[in-house]
Chain A
Amino acid sequence: MQSAQKKPNVIVEVPILQPGHTYTSVTNQVNDVILKPGIPRGWIFGFGVAFMGVMLMLYSITVLILKGTGVWGLNMPVGWGFAIINFIWWIGIGHAGTLISAILLLFRQEWRTSINRFAEAMTLFAVANAGMYPILHTGRPWLAYWLFPYPNTMGMWPQFRSPLVWDVFAISTYALVSLLFWYVGLIPDLATLRDQATNRFVKVAYGIPSLGWRGASRHWNRYMRAYLLLAALATPLVVSVHSVISFDFAVSIIPGWHVTMFPPYFVAGAVFAGFAMVLILAIPIRKFYHMEDFITDKHLDNMAKVMLTTGLVVFYGYLMEIFFGWYSAYPPEQYVILNRMIGPYKWYYWSLILANGIVPQLLWFRKVRYNHIMLFLIAVVISIGMWLERFVIVITSLSRDLLPSSWGMFHATKWDWGLFIGTLGFFFFLLFVFLRVLPMINVFEMRELIHHKQHEGH
């Protein structure tokens, strides 16, 4: 008893900001990445690889537009192939950014400070990729404005009872609010860059978007109010966007889709995938740019915990899908569930269970959460798992719908893969540009954090 009490506490609290930093040191370390002359070789290499991805994307889109959606593996009965899988996957990834920037801000979680900027950038880039897919999937992207309700010469309005129309509003609102939130968060940092820059061109380039920010207390007063308002606006979007996307499935009567659980299940999956992507980005970035003092082990630990929590919700969802299938007492529902497990797509299903259900359980261990390589690998596995989840939902249900005579398999073509890999390239391309020209860490909030740390207890 006594010895147990005497045993030293091995768990040391890791700070969210390594001690010894001042306002200047934080500002310089983040902004030097942008303002110091010379481009690191690693950046050029990464940018080059990503740029090839962009070319692949443009090529795939060109082929698609010239020849039509027939170049994809779409056919009856599987009319929703990679386009919808990737759409949901990308949108899901974006959710972590919004959660970190909005919800964690409202809950005054100070550890969000150093990761919110690039997480929001990730959101924007993911939404840009996501938005591309349904528009290309229509086969006539130049008529995409037909999605919006406006008085047109066709005398028609979109079908407002269809969740596909709700998607249009959900995604466009999400993209707009994310962009505004990100930009407003950047203004004081852009002003700092403007002030630090010595080159006239750079000064002007940062001077225009900083909108004449002087850092006056009146500015700050209004700024903080606007930022909080935007956070409040963005908060419901964390839940609403993926709920609306889940309605695309849940509102239909396809076996395996017509499940009331879908909205929360999709939202948890989105946050799960999103945090996995934040980790995939954060672990290399902090290493290569030496940001370990700002993005500490504590951040990674916290994100791993969020991932574990949402992962459990998602796993619960998988179990409930099986339960609903059985409890429906409806042969097609039961068959779809059984078909997922032992049918032609069983490898996808069991890989999904392994990746999203079993592997994340490693995160229960503190040692795993503090092992960056393990954490990185788990995040990669989860990202793949979430893609598999969407694959299983979209493909297995459609390939075995209510009419056995029209059953058929889905085979992705090289253009399906080309566009998917291409959008991955586009995502990293935008990210590399972002890392080069904008402060990857929110400098003014870091300075605020230092202020809080210095005056703790006051």
Chain B
Amino acid sequence: MSRQVFLHPIANTIAKLLILGIVGGAVGLTVFSMLVARSPLMAQVDIAPVQPVPFSHEHHVDGLGLVCRYCHVYVEDSAFAGVPQTEICVGCHSQVWADSPTLAPVLDSYKANESLEWNRVYDLPDYVYFNHSIHINKGVACVSCHGQVNEMPIVRKQSTLHMDWCLDCHRNREDNIRPRSEVFDMHWEAPEDLEALRQRLVEDYHVDVEQFNITDCSICHR
């Protein structure tokens, strides 16, 4: 009695494929978006922003033996680690390589009394409160988050800065703790009783769970 519109036998196959395509497409799109969200590109990991001067951490840290806080002067006392003032650069470079054209922006900035505008590598969203000093003072080393900066000719981001990356450490705080005296050491060799040391440090530095719950929302979102 009824007259089919789609008489060709392939119509059934097309219909089934379409249904499969819609369901598969929805699942595929979800999985794809989740993969994209985790990709290094989205998190800008391993991408080195172009800087006004191609400053090499590798050369200054490993080559010359400068310690992090020689330039990042506020890191032990303030939320912000500090991007060095031009004066710190010029302290050496008024003598060393002073004629190099690569360094011209530094000396220009010094002469003009204007800041050099470096491009931020680690940019946290404004709704996150982050404090460098508390991490340094509780024995979290620079290298734990910033990676082997001493091996980077141009500095690049080493962490995703995703919330689960933060929480991963806040939930397992003994995993990245070391003696306060060693936080700037880029080549720290862990002692053999590392586990016991970390357990002891967690207690000594009062970062154990019972004392202070650092996974609370308001710790970072104030």
The chain A residues found within 8 Å of chain B, CB to CB, are: 150-156, 191, 194-195, 203-204, 207, 211-215
Residues of B with C-beta under 8 A to A153: 37-38, 160, 162-164
Per-position contact with A for B29-51: 1 when CB-CB < 8 Å, else 0?
01000100110000000000000
Pick 12 A–B contacts, CB within 8 A, sort by A. Answer: A152-B34, A152-B164, A153-B37, A153-B160, A153-B164, A154-B162, A155-B167, A156-B163, A207-B4, A207-B5, A212-B12, A212-B15
Partner of A215, one of B2, B38, B162, B167: B2
Knowing that A151-B34, A155-B166, A212-B15 touch, tell me 17 more A-B residue pairs with CB under 8 angstroms. A150-B34, A152-B34, A153-B37, A153-B160, A154-B164, A154-B167, A155-B163, A155-B167, A155-B168, A156-B163, A195-B2, A204-B5, A207-B5, A207-B6, A212-B6, A213-B2, A214-B2
Q: How far is the CB of B124 from chain A (nearest CB, A)?
A: 14
Once the chains are docked, how many angstroms separate the CA of A44 from the CA of B84?
A: 70
User: A212 contacts which of B4, B34, B164, B165 (Cβ < 8 Å)?
Assistant: B4
B3 within 8 A of A: yes
What are the interface flags for B1-17 relative to A under an 8 Å C-beta threshold, 1 for contact and 0 otherwise?
11111100001100100
Q: 9 closest Cβ contacts across the A-B interface? A: A155-B164, A207-B5, A154-B163, A153-B162, A155-B167, A195-B2, A203-B5, A214-B2, A153-B164
* A211 in contact with B167 given A154-B162, A204-B5 (CB within 8 Å): no
Chain B minimum-CB-distance residue to A191? B2
Residues of B within 8 A of A215 (CB): 1-2
Residue of B nearest to A210 (CB): B5
- Nearest chain B residue, comparing its CB with the CB of A213: B2
CB distance from B14 to the nearest CB of A (A): 10
Residues of B with C-beta under 8 A to A194? 2, 5
B175 to chain A, nearest CB (A): 15
Q: Chain A residues near B162 (CB, 8 Å)?
A: 153-155
Within B135-181, the residues touching A (CB, 8 Å) are 160, 162-168
Q: Which residues of B contact A213 (CB under 8 A)?
A: 2
- The answer to whether A211 and B2 touch across the interface, beta carbons within 8 angstroms, is no
Instruction: Kindly state the separation between the CA atoms of A311 and B37 in the bound complex, as whole angstroms.
Output: 50
Chain A residue contacts of B6, Cβ below 8 A: 207, 212
Contact B15–A211 (Cβ < 8 Å): yes
How many residues in B have their beta carbons less than 8 Å from beta carbons of A? 21
Main secondary structure, interface of B, reads: helix
Tell me the bound Cα distance from A153 to B168 in angstroms.
11
Q: Which chain B residue shows the least CB distance to A151?
A: B34
Determine the distance from Cα of A151 to Cα of B38 in the docked complex, in whole angstroms: 11
| Cross-chain contact B164 with A214 (CB below 8 angstroms) | no
Closest beta carbon of chain B to A188's beta carbon, Å: 10
When C-beta atoms are compared, the residue in chain B nearest to A211 turns out to be B15
Residues from chain A with a CB closer than 8 A to the CB of B34 are 150-152
Chain B residue at minimum C-beta to C-beta distance from A197: B5
A11 to chain B, nearest CB (A): 42
- In the bound complex, residues from chain B placing their C-beta under 8 Å from that of A195 are 1-3
Shortest Cβ distance from B178 into chain A, in angstroms? 23
CA separation between A195 and B163, bound complex, in Å? 57
Q: From B167, which residue of chain A is reached at the shortest CB distance?
A: A155
List B residues 162-215 near A (Cβ within 8 Å). Answer: 162-168
**Residues of B contacting A211 in the complex (Cβ-Cβ under 8 angstroms):** 15
Shortest Cβ distance from residue B51 to the other chain A in the assembled complex, whole angstroms? 27
| Interchain CA distance A152-B6 in the complex, whole Å | 44
In the bound complex, how far is the Cα of B2 from the Cα of A195, in angstroms? 6
On chain A, the residues within 8 Å of B163 by CB distance are 153-156
Tell me the complex Cα distance, A154–B163, Å: 4
Interface residues of B in 34-80 (CB under 8 A from A): 34, 37-38
Cβ–Cβ < 8 Å partners of A191 in chain B: 2
**Cα distance, A191 to B38, chains bound together (Å):** 46
CA distance A215 to B37 in the complex (A): 48
Given the complex of chains A and B, what is the CA–CA distance between A213 and B164 in angstroms? 50
In the bound complex, do residue A212 and residue B11 qualify as a contact, i.e. CB atoms below 8 Å apart?
Answer: yes
A204 to B6: give the CA distance in the assembly, Å. 8
The residue in A194, A204, A212, A213 that gathers the most chain B C-beta atoms within 10 A of its C-beta is A212
Residues of A within 8 A of B12 (CB): 212
Residues of B near A156 (CB, < 8 A) are: 163-164, 167
- Please name all residues of chain A whose beta carbon is closer than 8 Å to the beta carbon of B168 when the two chains form the complex: 155
A207: chain B residues within 8 A (beta carbon): 4-6
Bound-state CA distance A87–B90 (Å) is: 64
Chain A residues lying within 8 Å of B30, measured Cβ to Cβ, are 150
Q: Give the chain B neighbours of A214 by CB distance below 8 A.
A: 2, 4
List chain A residues, Cβ under 8 A from B166.
155
A-side contacts of B167, CB under 8 Å? 154-156
Q: Bound complex: CA of A451 vs CA of B166, how far in Å?
A: 68
A226 to chain B, nearest CB (A): 15
Q: Most chain-B Cβ atoms within 10 A of its Cβ — which of A153, A154, A212? A: A153
> How distant is B165 from chain A, measured CB to nearest CB, in Å?
8
* Chain A, Cβ-Cβ closest to B163: A154
| Min distance, Cβ B166 to any Cβ of chain A, angstroms | 8
B161 nearest in chain A by CB position: A153
Cα separation A156 to B171 with both chains bound (whole Å): 12
Among residues of A, the one whose C-beta sits closest to the C-beta of B42 is: A153
Contacts of A212 in B (CB 8 A): 4, 6, 11-12, 15
Min CB distance A224 to B, Å, is 18
Whole-angstrom distance from the CB of B45 to the nearest CB of chain A?
12
Nearest CB of B to A181, in Å: 18
User: Nearest residue in A to B38 (C-beta to C-beta)?
Assistant: A153
Complex Cα gap A153–B160 (Å): 9
**Which one of A151, A155, A204, A215 has the highest number of Cβ atoms from chain B below 10 Å of its Cβ?**
A155
Name B217's closest neighbour in chain A (CB-CB): A156
CA distance A195 to B3 in the complex (A): 6
- CB A154 to nearest CB in B, in angstroms, measures 4
In the bound assembly, the distance between CA atoms of A204 and B1 in angstroms comes to: 17
Question: For the complex, what is the distance from the CA of A214 to the CA of B166, rounded to whole Å?
Answer: 59
